[in-house]
Amino acid sequence: MRRQGNCENISESTTLILFTQKELPTGECMAIINRDTQGEALYANIGASAKISMEHMKQAEQELHFLRPTERKQIIYLEGFILPRCKELCHYMVTHYLSGRRWLALNLSAEYIVRNNFHAIMKFACMAYFIFGNGREFCALADKMGFGRDIDKAIKMIFEQHAGPCIVIITNAERGLILVSNVEYGSAKPGKLIYRHCRVDRIDNVIDTTGAGDSFVAGFLHAFLNNYKLKDCVIVGTAVAAQVVTKIGCNLPSDFNVKSITDKMKKIK
């Protein structure tokens, strides 16, 4: 099933491709927020995602033709939540899809995902162009590596084991957002390792932080694919996440348009 250009909050240049399986259930998610303690709990059933197989993917390849030529930019996005039940599928995707300017983006997703799937996480991290995670998830990764809570040592180890260009983004870290990269934009050759500590403005009217990390990733990758510099990708990502946390659930305001953010940035430049 295809829909193009008429989806809310999706730009006209975007083609939304959905592969449906009627016999499989969709996913469900429930977030519980304690207003008194500001505590949160998230319960998720990933539904059909847990059942997707290499056969489904091959069928989608034939019917939807979603892979672009390798000289065109395309991101294969892998959520850590998928790994526990779909390791074989994930291996198939990175083995068959990554080539040229088709890059892997890995989201660590949760502390328990990192701890319970450490070897798989490290395998895909060493193949990823982008690695996203929050401070707690990277602390879990560092701990499994034997570095305690030393995130810097964990990052250094990833780059030592990584064969190519890589961009690591740590959100909600104690020192603010951290961006570490050995490439500036779209290059196939890794260069000097650069650390950037990015200040993130405080959001006063936070209602629900569910999906804030995923929203940041979406904004960041949108900007990256539109040729923005890394520091500007961070600005777009944080602007999108800042809108999501002002609503219940992982939702953007109905009048939100990412183009208004990018247009404003162009005028500033």
Task: Report the number of distinct structural domains present in the chain.
Answer: 1
Q: Is residue 208 part of a domain?
A: yes
Domain of residue 261 covers 200-269
Strands 2-4 and 15-17: antiparallel
Domain membership flag for residue 223: yes
Does 67 or 36 have the greater pLDDT score? 67
Average pLDDT for 36-60: 79
Please answer whether residues 188 and 97 qualify as being in contact, where contact means their C-beta atoms are separated by less than 8 angstroms: no
Mean per-residue pLDDT, 188-217:
82
**Residue 229, domain member (yes or no):** yes
- Does residue 226 fall inside a structural domain? yes
Cα(70)–Cα(213) distance, integer angstroms:
28
SS (H, E, C) the chain: CEEECCCCCCCCCCEEECCCCCCCCCCEEEEEEECCCCEEEEEEECHHHHCCCHHHHHHHHHHHCCCCCCCCCEEEEEEHHHCCCCHHHHHHHHHHHCECCEEEEEECCCHHHHHHCHHHHHHHHCCCCEEEEEHHHHHHHHHHHCCCCCHHHHHHHHHHHCCCCCEEEEECCCCCEEEEECCCCCCCCCCCCEEEEECCCCCCCCCCCCCHHHHHHHHHHHHHHCCCCHHHHHHHHHHHHHHHCCCCCCCCCCCCCHHHHHHHHHHHC
**Averaged pLDDT of the chain:** 83
- Tell me whether residue 160 is in a domain: no
pLDDT of res. 11: 53
Instruction: Give φ, ψ of 131 to 5 degrees.
Output: -130, 120
Residues forming beta bridges with residue 34, ordered by sequence position: 39
Q: Phi/psi of residue 129, each to 5°? A: -80, -35
Residue 250 lies in a domain: yes
Q: Which residues are known catalytic residues?
A: 214
Residues 227 and 103: their CA atoms lie apart, in Å, by 15
Is 263 within a domain?
Answer: yes
What pairs with residue 195 in β-bridges? 180
Most confident of 28-37, 111-120, 229-238: 111-120
Residue 57, amino acid: M
Work out the percent of the chain whose per-residue pLDDT is above 70: 86
What is the share, in percent, of the chain residues with pLDDT greater than 90?
36
Look at residues 120, 101, 238, 118 and name the one whose alpha carbon lies nearest to residue 183.
101
Look at 36 and 240; give whichever has higher pLDDT: 240
Instruction: Write out pLDDT tens, residues 124-139.
Output: 999 999 999 999 999 9
Residue 214 lies in a domain: yes
